[in-house]
Amino acid sequence: MKPLLEVDNLCISFGNQATMRHVVENVSFHVHAGESLGIVGESGCGKSITSLAIMRLLGGNSRVSGQIRLNNKELLSLSENQMRTIRGKDTAMIFQDPMTSLNPLLTIGKQIGEVMEQHDNLPRDEVKKCVLELLTRVGIPRADEIYHEYPHRLSGGMRQRVMIAMAIACQPLLLLADEPTTALDVTIQAQILDLLQKIRKENRMALIMITHDLGVVAEVCDRVMVMYAGQVMETADVRTLLRTPMHPYTKALMMSRPQSAKENRRLNTIPGSVPSPEHFPNGCRFAPRCDQVMPICYEKTPALAPAGEGSACRCWLYDENKESKEVLV
Amino acid sequence: MNASRPLLEVKGLQKWFPLSRGFLQSSRFVRAVNNVDLIMRKGETVGIVGESGCGKSTLGRCILRLIEPTDGEIWFNGTNVSSLSKQAMHKYRRNMQMIFQNPYDTLNPKHRIRKILSEPLIAHRVPKEEHETLMVNILERVGLRKEHLERFPHEFSGGQRQRICIARALILGPELVIADEAVSALDVSIQSQILNLLQDLQEQMGLTYLFISHDLSVVQHISDRVAVMYLGEIVEMGDKQSFFQKPLHPYSQALLSAVPKNDPDENRERIILQGDLPSPTNPPSGCKFHQRCHVAMEKCKTEAPLLKEVEGRQVACHLYA
Ligand SMILES: Nc1ncnc2c1ncn2[C@@H]1O[C@H](COP(=O)(O)OP(=O)(O)OP(=O)(O)O)[C@@H](O)[C@H]1O
Ligand SMILES: Nc1ncnc2c1ncn2[C@@H]1O[C@H](COP(=O)(O)OP(=O)(O)OP(=O)(O)O)[C@@H](O)[C@H]1O
Ligand SMILES: [Mg+2]
Ligand SMILES: [Mg+2]
C-alpha cells in the first residue's frame, strides 16, 4: 500500500545567497495511514522546521527543496490558496507552545468553530454542537462553560487539549504534534497521549510525534527517526530502536536519561552540544561528540545505509567496506 | 551548635493570594500553600513533586520570602527568619538562593556575564577587590572560563546559560539552594550535565537543595527525600527509595503510574486521573483529592485527613487510619 505521506530528500536552508545556511539536509521518510512516527533528537537538530516545511509554514527567508507528497498531492508545488484547503482538512499541527497559537481575543468556541466553518459547510447550530462534542471528547470538563471562555482563563493542560481539539476538528489524515506534552506534568501528559492514541485508532489518522522524550516515543510511536544536526542518523521500528539502538548518538541519548543511571551514580552525558548550522563539522556531524569515533569519521560523511528490515543507520561503524575506506583516507 | 538542629524548618506555612475581582468579593482567596511543615537537614536534597498549579513554586518563594507568607514560621539555622525586618532578611538571603526554570528570562540580555555575576556581590556589599577572584572561581566551578566574563548571554547555549544562572546563585556561598524546575527546559543530554554539576557542587560546597520538579525521573535521581504536593498541601513525604518502590497516597500512586514507559511492551497498570486539579479558590471539602481518587470512601468527602506517620513516612489519607 502506498504511504500517506512521502517525504523525499527534503532540504531546508535559511538566508540569502551570501548567508545561506543549510539547516536540514536530505531528510526522507514515509508514514502510512494509521501509523505513528516519532522524530527525536536534541534541541536545534531540525525537528520543528521539518514539520513546518510539511505544513508549508516556514517564513520567507527559507528555501525548501525535495518532495513532500501527501495523499498523492505534491505539497511543494501547490499555491498558498490550495495549501490553505489542505491545512486543517488533510493535515493539522499541534504547535510547541499553545499560547502563541491560540487567538487571545476569541472564545474557545469561536476558535474551534472557525476551523470547522472554513472546511465543512455546516449551519451555525450544527457547528456549535460539533464543537461541544469535540471538547468533551478531548476530556474538557464543563464543555458548555469552557465554550464561552477565553484562552488565558484556562490552565496549561486545558489549553493544550483545546489545541488538540482544534487540530482534529476536521479529522485530518495526518497530525503533526510538536512536543505536545513537554510543558505538561505527567498526569496530564498521560491523559493527552491516551487521547491521541484513541483518535489515531478511531480515525486511522497518521501521527508524527516530535519529542525529545524517549518515554513518549515508547508510549505512542510505531517507528522512530533520530535526527542530529539536520540529518537523519537512524530510523527503526520502536522496539528495535529502544532495545538495540545502533547509532552511537541514539545510544548516548538513551544512556543520558536519569533512568539509565545506576543508583546514586553520576549520569552519563554527551560531551559538548549540538553545533549550529554554520558550524556543522565535516565528515560525520556527530563525530566530535562520539565516544566510538574513528579517523574516517572526521573525513567523510557516512551514508544513511539500510540496516535490516525497515531500519537505517548513518555510521561508519556499520560499514563493511570501512577498512578499505580507512586505508583510502 | 546543636548538630541535629535542622538547617531549615518550615512550620504551618500558608500563602493565600487575594482574588483581585472587585471589592465586594475581596474575601475570596487562592489558597496556594496550606499549612505546610517541612524540615531539611544540612547536605540533603528534598524533591518536591506535584501537578502544575499545586503550589510548588509558591512554597519555594515563601521560604526565601521573595513573596511574604500569609502565615507560618520559617526557621533557618535556628533563627526565625519570617519575623525579620526587610533589611535583616536581605542579609540572610545570601545564605538562601534560588535557581529558576528558564535561563532565557532570568539573564538580562544587555548585560555581560561580568555584570550579571557582580550584581549579587554589590547587593551584599562584598569588597570590590574580592569580586574578580570570586567570579572566576565560581565560573570555573560550573565548568566555564574566565574569558566568558566579557560575553553576553546570547553567546551561550541553553546549557551554558543555566550554568551561568547556577554560578550567580552560588557566588555568595549560600547554604540552601531552591532549584525551581532548574533542568526542565533542557535537553536530556544537557540536563544530565547540569544534574551532575549540581551534585558535584553539593559535595564540594556542602549545599542543601530543595529541588522542585515535575519530572519524576529527575527527582528520583537527585533526591534523598521526596514530598508530594496536592492543591497546596503535602500529602506524602518520605525517603526516596521506599517512596518510589511503594507510594502510599493514592495521588502519589497515580502520579508514578503516569510516568511514560521505557519500553512499548512494558505492562504497567495506569491510573488515569479524571479532570483537572480543582480550583484552589474553591477547594473540595474533606480530602481535597477525593473527587479524583480511585479508592475514595464516604468519609473522604467530609473529613480532611491529617499527615500521619505510616510505614516510616508521612501520609495524609484515610486508607491508613
Ligand atoms: N527562521 C529561521 N531562520 C534561521 N534559522 C532558523 C530558523 N528557524 C530555525 N532555524 C535554525 O534551524 C535549526 C533547527 O531548528 P528547529 O526549530 O527545527 O529545532 P528543533 O529540533 O525543533 O529544536 P527544539 O527541540 O529546541 O524545538 C536551528 O539551528 C535553528 O537555529
Ligand atoms: N501572584 C499570584 N497571584 C494569584 N495567584 C497566584 C499567584 N501566584 C500563584 N498563584 C496561584 O497559586 C497556585 C499555585 O501556583 P504555583 O505557581 O506555586 O504552582 P506550581 O506548583 O509551581 O505550578 P507549576 O508546576 O505550573 O510551576 C496556582 O493556582 C496559581 O494560579
Ligand atoms: Mg522544536
Ligand atoms: Mg512552578
A15-18, Cβ contacts within 8 angstroms, sequence gap of 24 or more: A15/A61, A16/A61
Q: Does A261 touch chain B (CB under 8 A)?
A: yes
> Which is more confident, B103 or B126?
B126
Q: Give residue-wise pLDDT tens across range B109-158.
A: 999 999 999 999 999 999 999 999 999 999 998 888 898 999 999 888 77
CB of B283 closer than 8 Å to CB of B289: no
Residues pairing with B8 in the sheet: B40, B76
pLDDT at A262 over 90: no
State the pLDDT at residue A221: 97
Count of residues making up chain B = 321
Which residue out of A99, A267, A268, A289 would a mutagenesis test of the B interface target, given it has the greatest number of B Cβ atoms within 10 Å?
A: A267
pLDDT band at residue B100, thresholds of 50, 70 and 90? confident
User: Which ligand has its closest atom nearest to the C-alpha of B49?
Assistant: 2
Question: Mutate which of A142, A187, A228 to test chain B, going by most B C-beta atoms within 10 A?
Answer: A187
- Say what percent of chain A tops pLDDT 90: 60
Cα(B62)–Cα(B47) distance, rounded to whole angstroms? 16
Ligand 1: which atom is nearest the Cα of residue A212? Answer: 25
> What are the backbone angles phi and psi of residue B259, rounded to the nearest 5°?
-60, 130
Q: Which three cell numbers stand for residue A153?
A: 482563563
Q: Where are the domains of chain B?
A: 8-95+172-320
H or E segment and range at residue A73? strand A73-74
With a cut of 50, say whether residue B13 has pLDDT above it: yes
Ligand 3 centroid, distance to B185 Cα (angstroms): 12
DSSP-assigned states of every residue in A312-328: EE--GGG-TTHHHHHHH
Q: Are A158 and A177 in a shared domain?
A: no
The pLDDT of residue A1 is 81
Nearest beta carbon to residue B192 from set A43, A216, A268: A268
Q: Do B220 and A141 lie within an 8 Å CB cutoff?
A: no
Contacts of A235 (CB under 8 A, 6+ apart): A29, A223, A224, A225, A226, A241, A310, A311, A312
Pair (A296, A211) in one structural domain: yes
Task: Name residues 71-100 of chain B within 8 A of A (Cβ).
Answer: none
Q: Is the CB of A14 under 6 A from ligand 1?
A: yes
Residue B218 has pLDDT above 80, yes or no: yes
The reported pLDDT for the residue numbered B246 is 95
Is residue B43 classed as helix, strand or coil in its secondary structure? coil
Give A60's Cβ-side CA count (13 Å radius): 0
Average pLDDT rounded to a whole number, residues B251-278: 86
Query: What pLDDT digit, counting tens, does each position of B37-56 carry?
Result: 999 999 999 999 998 889 99
- Residue of B270, B209, B247, B281 lying closest to B28 (CA atoms): B281
Average pLDDT, chain B: 90
pLDDT, mean over chain A: 89
**Which residues in A lie closer than 8 A to residue B196 (C-beta atoms)?**
266-267, 269
pLDDT the model gives residue B186: 81
Q: Looking at the structure, do residues A156 and A290 belong to the same domain, yes or no?
A: no
Tell me, yes or no, whether A221 and A113 share the same domain. Answer: no
Residue A327 has pLDDT above 50, yes or no: no
pLDDT at B126: 94
Q: What is the DSSP string of B190-238?
A: HHHHHHHHHHHHHHHHT-EEEEE-S-HHHHHHH-SEEEEEETTEEEEEE
Query: Which atom of ligand 2 is nearest to B51's Cα?
Result: 25
Interatomic CA distance for residues A190 and A207, integer angstroms: 17
ipTM over cut 0.90: no
* CB-based contact B251:B265 (threshold 8 Å): no
Rounded Cα gap, residues A305 and A215, in angstroms: 26
DSSP state of A284: -
SS3 A106: coil
What is the distance in A from the centroid of ligand 3 to the CA of B187? 11
CA distance B280 to chain A (A): 12
Mean pLDDT score, B287-315: 94
Complete edge-to-edge strand list for the sheet that includes strand B8-18: B29-40, B8-18, B71-76, B79-80
Distance CA B136, CA B138 (A): 6
**Structural domain contains residue A323:** no
β-pair partners for B96: B176
Lowest mean pLDDT across A109-118, A213-222, B58-67, B79-88 = A109-118
Domain check: are A14 and A120 in the same one?
no
Instruction: State which H helix or E strand residue A21 sits in.
Output: strand A21-31
pLDDT exceeds 90 at position B62: yes
Average pLDDT over residues A35-63: 92
- Residue span of the structural domain in which A289 resides: 5-90+172-318
The stretch A224-228 carries a mean pLDDT of 97
Q: Among A60-74, A170-184, A254-268, B117-131, which stretch is predicted with the lowest mean pLDDT?
A: A254-268
Q: Final residue of a domain: which of A170, A205, A222?
A: A170
Cα dihedral sign for A159, A162, A166, A171? positive
- Rg, Å, chain B Cα set: 21
pTM of the shown model: 0.88
Q: Is residue A326 part of a domain?
A: no
Between residues A155 and B77, which one has the greater pLDDT? B77
Q: What are phi and psi of B101, to 5 degrees?
A: -65, -50
CA of A40, nearest ligand number? 1
Name the pLDDT band for A264 (thresholds 50, 70, 90).
Answer: low
Same domain? A122 vs A267: no
Same domain, A199 and A220: yes
Asked whether the predicted pLDDT for residue B25 surpasses 70, the reply is no
State mean pLDDT over B92-120: 87
Percent pLDDT > 70 in chain A is 96
Residue of the CA atom closest to atom 16 of ligand 1: A46
**A312 located within any domain:** yes
pLDDT, average across residues A119-146: 84
Residue among B25, B58, B279 to mutate when testing ligand 2 (max atoms within 8 A of CB)? B58
DSSP code of residue A6: E
Question: Are A129 and A63 in a shared domain?
Answer: no
* Range with the poorest average pLDDT among A36-40, B60-64, B158-162: B158-162
Phi, psi of A208 (to 5 degrees): -110, 115
Domain boundary among A170, A192, A224: A170
What's the pLDDT at A328? 41
List CB contacts of A81: < 8 A, sequence separation 6 or more: none
Distances (CA, A) of B285 to B159, B175, B235, B305: 44, 39, 15, 11
The predicted pLDDT at position A95 comes to 86
The total of structural domains in chain A comes to: 2
Judgement on whether residues A164 and A187 belong to the same structural domain of the protein: no
Instruction: Kindly list the strands in the beta sheet with A5-14, ordered across the sheet, starting from the edge strand earlier in the chain.
Output: A21-31, A5-14, A62-70, A73-74
Q: What gap in Å lies between CA B137 and CA B171, rounded to an integer? A: 9
> Any idea which fold B8-95+172-320 has?
Rossmann fold (3.40.50)
Residue B189's pLDDT is what?
Answer: 84
Report the separation in Å between the CA atom of A98 and the middle of ligand 4, taken as the mean of its atom positions: 18
The pLDDT score that the predictor gives to residue A188 is 81
* CATH code where residue A203 lies: 3.40.50.300
Average pLDDT estimate for A68-75: 95
Distance from chain centroid for Cα B99: 9
Q: Note whether residue A329 is domain-resident.
A: no
State the distance from the centre of ligand 1 to the C-alpha of A106, rounded, in angstroms: 29
Q: How confident is the model at residue B103 (pLDDT cuts 50, 70, 90)?
A: low
- Of A168 and B247, the structure prediction assigns the larger pLDDT to B247
Instruction: Please give the Cα distance from B33 to B230 (Å, whole number).
Output: 10
Same domain for A84 and A185, yes or no, is yes
Residues enclosing ligand 2, CB less than 6 A? Answer: B 17, 30, 32, 50, 52-58, 214, 280
DSSP-derived secondary structure for B261-272: PSSTT------P
The answer to whether residue A292 sits within a structural domain is: yes
Question: Does A97 reside within a domain?
Answer: no
- CB-CB contact of B191 with B215 (8 Å): no
Please name which of B276, B245, B99 lies closest in space to residue B176, comparing C-alpha atoms: B99
Q: With an 8 Å Cβ cutoff, is A142 touching chain B? A: no
Q: Is the pLDDT of residue B188 over 50?
A: yes
For residue A276, being part of any structural domain is answered with yes
pLDDT of residue B148: 92
Please list, in sequence order, all residues whose beta carbon lies within 8 angstroms of the beta carbon of residue A257, skipping any fewer than 6 positions away: A214, B188, B192, B217
CA B84, B90, B93, B99 dihedral sign is positive
Which of A196, A183, A173 is closest to A87 using CA atoms?
A173
Taking the C-alpha atoms of residue B285 and residue A28, their distance in angstroms, rounded to an integer, is 56
Which positions in chain A touch B260 (Cβ < 8 Å)?
186, 189-190, 193, 213, 215-216, 218-219
Q: What DSSP assignment string belongs to A193-213?
A: HHHHHHHHHHHT-EEEEE-S-
Residue A329 clears pLDDT 50, i.e. is over it:
no
DSSP A23: E
pLDDT for res A321: 65
B129–chain A Cβ distance below 8 A for any pair: no
pLDDT value, residue A143: 85
Same structural domain, A142 and A270: no
Answer yes or no: do A249 and A129 share one domain: no
